[in-house]
Amino acid sequence: MFGRSIRIFTLFGFEVKIDLSWVILALLITWSLAQGLFPHYFKGLTTATYWWMGIFGALGLFFSIVFHELCHSLVARKYGLPIKGITLFIFGGVASMEEEPPSAKAEFLMAIAGPASSIVLGLIFFIIRTVGIETDWSVPLTGIFTYLSFINWVLAGFNLIPAFPLDGGRVLRSALWKWKNDIRWSTRIASRVGAVFGLVLIFLGVIQFFSGNFIGGIWWFMIGIFLQNAARMSYQQLITRQALEGENVRDFMKPDPVTVTPSITVEQLVEDFIYKYHFKMFPVVEGEKLIGCITTRHIKGIPKAQWSSRTVAEIAKTCSSANTIDPETDAIKALSIMNRTGNSRLMVVEGNKLVGILALKDIMKFLSIKLDLEGYVEKDTK
């Protein structure tokens, strides 16, 4: 879903990261507050004051989104669900879950925790704002708290819309799940509602755009596209998890993989291995010892004129959790690692011994066959 992200801090054991798209959002929010909202509602202040209000308003929104997602994550932890972290991106924030909730009750409590926290946080900001007005705080200060109380209630209200994967959509899924005791059917219905809501936002965005509200129209359109894609992806992820349930890495790995020695040159690697076998990654083995791996990405950073003089040992990547995996590991976890790292091949190791190679294409072939044979698509269209 996201591009490159940067970790900024850890809170209660959760990594909080910022996707580079958040920088765009932060600048847009600061600009719109400083040049639009605050001058409209709090007249007579200096331009510099409006900009400071915009900066602190954007920082307050940042805090509010982190708080919202943190509450989701704390409830998820209570139910034993692993959370990789919290990532802020151009459309807000998301707590990254690696598994589905264990029950409809857990789903409901996790989903409602976010909007409830935003309502409470909005109330806290409103109380601070009221105290500030009663004790004659400056207009810029009370103005910032007025905005933060309002925006938290807006955040809660928007997330309560029953469009999956928004929090309201997850509440809808939990109710359907409780009713039918079928998470796949519930996710399919909630995802369809989310996709329809995305279409509505796209339509409203087009109307806004041609009515003269260009920026607002573009934002509604982009959010609608995002919700449509997120709804479809959420359903596809659930189907993938269910199809791979009970499968482990050993079921998909190729034993006796093609390996290279650390002493060969990059030129030999390219000519004798990459062009011959068409793999993007090769394990580097010396004797029976696994040294690491080398990929086409590593080679791209070496000028072609140096290929004949540089050896594999000089540029090989050492073994890590990003490129190795145990054969008994769940296949879903392997997919998660591949998605996070961008690696389409993982070295399968037992201790320090290489026992095979796991390729993304082999997992996808299995998925395609299983979904076709067991009728996942057909069942879900009835």
How many structural domains are present in the chain?
3
Q: List the structure tokens of 175.
A: 């109710």
Q: Distance between CA 334 and CA 345 in Å, rounded?
A: 10
Neighbours of 340 (CB within 10 A): 11
Is 206 found in the same domain as 98?
A: no
CATH number for position 297:
3.10.580.10
Q: List the structure tokens of 158.
A: 């928007």
Is 66 found in the same domain as 135?
A: yes
Residue 150 is part of which domain span?
A: 5-160
Is 16 found in the same domain as 130?
A: yes
Q: Is residue 376 part of a domain?
A: no
Domain boundary among 160, 193, 226: 160
205-227: per-residue pLDDT in tens?
899 888 887 777 887 888 888 88
| pTM score | 0.74
101-130: per-residue pLDDT in tens?
888 999 999 999 999 999 999 999 999 999
Is 356 found in the same domain as 304?
A: yes
Strands 353-359 and 345-350, bridge-based pairing: antiparallel
Q: What is residue 333's predicted lDDT score, i.e. its pLDDT?
A: 84
Q: Distance between CA 323 and CA 118 in Å, rounded?
A: 39
Q: Is residue 146 part of a domain?
A: yes
Is 142 found in the same domain as 267?
A: no
Eight-state DSSP code of residue 35: I
Q: List the structure tokens of 119.
A: 């309502």
Residues β-bridged to residue 81: none
Is 232 found in the same domain as 275?
A: no
Spatial neighbors of 258 by CB under 8 A, at least 6 apart, are 273, 277, 279, 282
Q: Provide the 3-class DSSP secondary structure of residue 320.
A: coil
125-153: per-residue pLDDT in tens?
999 999 999 999 999 999 999 999 999 99
Q: Is residue 379 part of a domain?
A: no
Q: List the structure tokens of 215.
A: 């920026």
Is 235 found in the same domain as 254?
A: no
Q: Is residue 176 part of a domain?
A: no
Is 256 found in the same domain as 214?
A: no
Is 106 found in the same domain as 30?
A: yes
Domain boundary among 160, 194, 214: 160
Is 155 found in the same domain as 10?
A: yes
Q: How far is CA 303 from the centre of its chain?
A: 34
Q: Distance between CA 359 and CA 182 in Å, rounded?
A: 32
Q: What is residue 1's predicted lDDT score, i.e. its pLDDT?
A: 43
Q: Is residue 378 part of a domain?
A: no
Q: Distance between CA 360 and CA 3 in Å, rounded?
A: 20
The whole-number average pLDDT for the span 261-288 is 91
Is 265 found in the same domain as 214?
A: no
Domain boundary among 125, 160, 195: 160
Q: Is residue 170 part of a domain?
A: no
Q: Read out DSSP for 97-154? A: ESS--SSHHHHHHHHHHHHHHHHHHHHHHHHHHHHHHHTT--HHHHHHHHHHHHHHHH
Q: End-to-end distance of the chain based on CA atoms, in angstroms?
A: 29
Is 127 found in the same domain as 61?
A: yes
Q: Is residue 171 part of a domain?
A: no
163-202: per-residue pLDDT in tens?
888 899 899 999 999 999 988 889 889 999 999 998 999 9
309-348: per-residue pLDDT in tens?
999 999 988 888 888 999 999 888 888 888 778 888 999 9
Q: Distance between CA 318 and CA 324 in Å, rounded?
A: 10
Q: Is residue 380 part of a domain?
A: no
Spatial neighbors of 192 by CB under 8 A, at least 6 apart, are 231
